[in-house]
Amino acid sequence: MIKKHSLIILFVFFVISRVSFAESKIPASPRSRRAIQRVKPELEKVFKEKNLNYGSPIFIRIFKESMELEIWVKSENTFTLFKTYEICTYGSGTLGPKTIQGDGKAPEGFYFVTPQRLNPVSNFHLSFNLGYPNKYDRTHKRTGGALMVHGSCVSIGCYAMTNTGIEEIYAIAYAAFRNGQSFFRVHIFPFKMNKSNMEKHKQSKWIEFWNNLKEGYDFFEKNKIPPNVEVVNRKYIFETSE
């Protein structure tokens, strides 16, 4: 009996240690802790109402033209839309990818965010770095850096949210990381890439690039699982993610 109790104690200690270690790897600050504490109760309530688990893996999509940021949450083997947030601004307000430092444009493409890219002491309340330039951007010699999703509702090339919005997004991301997600994907599109919008923008100089983005958009629309994204021959390719 004593041995059994000892094993239980060791197991509990192991679980607590793992959680503590995971938390220590995620950037935090008094500001981010207060924000999470402020929004967490309502988030947990809404997650429960939607039959989703707070802390489950997440996926984000951004649409420039409609100025929307979507958070999708994993439920069993697919992702379910949790909430759509309005984007205040994204710099110049023009469609098309960021190509050069100082052009005032926000990126389009396929990015991912690790715990280390959270910034709990941002000059714009709270933020996370999108990881621009990614491999595709570097292959096309695009320049710039420090492209974020952040609060304060002002931007010269980042995706700016309200402070309330970024607090919720940050809290959801933090919970997913704390629960073991090693990174989450962020897919950024100029618009919802349906047939009518593609026809509307077919004369744009970016249409070839957007046709490539549409492959990733269609993959998720069909499967409700974000694809694994690679770059081959200067183009994005999409495969089933693990």
- The separation between CA 17 and the C-alpha centre of its own chain, rounded to angstroms, equals 27
Strand 148-150 relative to strand 159-160, pairing: parallel
Strand 58-63 relative to strand 68-75, pairing: antiparallel
Sign of torsion, CA 59 195 97 133?
positive
What are the DSSP E strand ranges found in 177-242? 184-189, 228-232, 235-239
Which pLDDT score, from 0 to 100, does residue 241 have?
Answer: 75
State yes or no: is 5 an active-site residue: no
Catalytic residue, from 88, 140, 158, 201: name it: 158
Each of the 242 residues of the chain gets a pLDDT tens digit; together they read 555 555 444 443 444 444 444 555 899 999 999 999 999 999 999 999 999 999 999 999 999 999 999 999 999 999 999 999 999 999 887 999 999 999 999 999 999 999 999 999 999 999 999 999 999 999 999 999 999 999 999 998 999 999 999 999 999 999 999 999 999 999 999 999 999 999 999 999 999 999 999 999 999 999 999 999 999 999 999 998 76
Catalytic residue, from 88, 125, 140, 150: name it: 150
Closest C-alpha to 182, from 230, 109, 242: 242
CA count, 13 A, side-chain hemisphere, 77: 4
State yes or no: is 187 an active-site residue: no
CA angle 47, 194, 168 (to 5 degrees): 25
Which pLDDT score, from 0 to 100, does residue 10 have?
Answer: 45
Please give the model's pTM, rounded to 2 decimal places. 0.90
Question: In b/e form, how buried is each residue of 142-177, taking b as 16+ CB within 10 angstroms?
Answer: bebeebbbbbbbebebbbbbbeebbbbbbbbbbbbb
Which pLDDT score, from 0 to 100, does residue 7 have?
Answer: 47
Which pLDDT score, from 0 to 100, does residue 25 have?
Answer: 86
Which pLDDT score, from 0 to 100, does residue 24 have?
Answer: 57
